A and B are shown apart, each in its own frame.
Chain A
Amino acid sequence: DIQMTQSPSSLSASVGDRVTITCQASRDIDNYLNWYQQKPGKAPKLLIYDASNLETGVPSRFSGSGSGTDFTFTISSLQPEDIATYYCQQYKDPYNDFGGGTKVEIK
């Protein structure tokens, strides 16, 4: 199985700040990576697919980059409604493991 290491596990930032989350795969996954947002008590929501493609309807302040083993998820200007936990997920391997998650809070 491919292990996905996500960091940090939590962060606190101010409204308007640029927020960056990283995800590292234990081996090359090309660009087969999703990013999700999950708010408390809700199902995850797909934000980014194929490492850098924005899902329809998702605000443009969200972006993703990377390929191979190293990936980055960015919120260009943090908004109050962005408070959530974010997860990466690989789908190169048949077993589509998730990263451990990053909890984003407002400072």
Chain B
Amino acid sequence: EEQLVESGGGLVKPGGSLRLSCAASGFTFIDAWMTWVRQAPGKGLEWLGRIKSKSDGETPDYAAPARGRFTISRDDSKNTLYLHMSSLKTDDTAVYYCSTEPAKLWGQGTLVTVSP
């Protein structure tokens, strides 16, 4: 069964850092382009960025809210996608989802709460 499972969310203080993980199974992760999307409480979906497969250069693209503070990486040996977040703000409070691209497969999401 194809599956994505996020982990690493939690409570962090403003200015802090956090690393989210997304464990993939049931499909060929090494060939997949992967994406992070977030959703603040009661708000819409916000695309954060993607990382291409290694064969396509493994280059990331970032939306404006993520540029300079967030880093997307992957470890194909572990079938895992990462989102490193730094200088966190209260506005970063959201459920963070990973997905494949095309977005046919999504994880269940992990909640990040940034609060003093």
Do A and B truly interact?
yes
Using CB atoms and an 8 Å cutoff, list the residues of chain A in contact with chain B. Answer: 1, 34, 36, 38, 43-46, 49, 55, 85, 87, 89, 91, 94-101
A1-B64, A95-B61 given as contacts; is B44 within 8 A of A87 (CB)? yes
A38-B45, A98-B47 are known contacts. Are A43 and B107 too (CB-CB below 8 A)? yes
Q: How far is the CB of B97 from chain A (nearest CB, A)?
A: 6
Is residue B102 contacting chain A, with contact meaning CB distance below 8 A? yes
- Assign chain B's interface to a size class: 20 to 34
Q: Which residues of B contact A89 (CB under 8 A)?
A: 45, 47, 103
Assembly CA distance A67 to B50 (angstroms): 24
Which residues of chain B have a CB within 8 Å of any CB of chain A? 35, 37, 44-47, 50, 61-64, 97, 99, 101-104, 106-109
B44 in contact with A100 (CB, 8 Å): yes
- Which residues of chain A come closer than 8 Å to B103, judged between CB atoms? 34, 36, 44, 46, 89
Q: Are B45 and A96 in contact (CB under 8 A)?
A: no
Q: Are A87 and B102 in contact (CB under 8 A)?
A: no
Distance from B75 Cβ to chain A, minimum over Cβ atoms (Å): 23
Residues of B within 8 A of A85 (CB): 44
| Least distance between B55 CB and chain A CB atoms (Å) | 18
Query: A45 — which chain B residues lie within 8 A by C-beta?
Result: 106
**How far does the alpha carbon of A97 sit from the alpha carbon of B64 in the complex, in Å?**
11
Q: A96 to chain B: closest CB distance in Å?
A: 5
Contact check, B109 vs A43: say whether CB atoms are below 8 A apart.
yes
Instruction: Tell whether, in the assembled complex, residue A43 and residue B108 are in contact, meaning their CB atoms are under 8 Å apart.
Output: yes
Neighbouring B residues of A95 by C-beta, 8 Å: 47, 61-64
Cα distance, A63 to B64, chains bound together (Å): 31
Q: Across the interface, do A55 and B97 meet the contact criterion of CB distance under 8 Å?
A: no
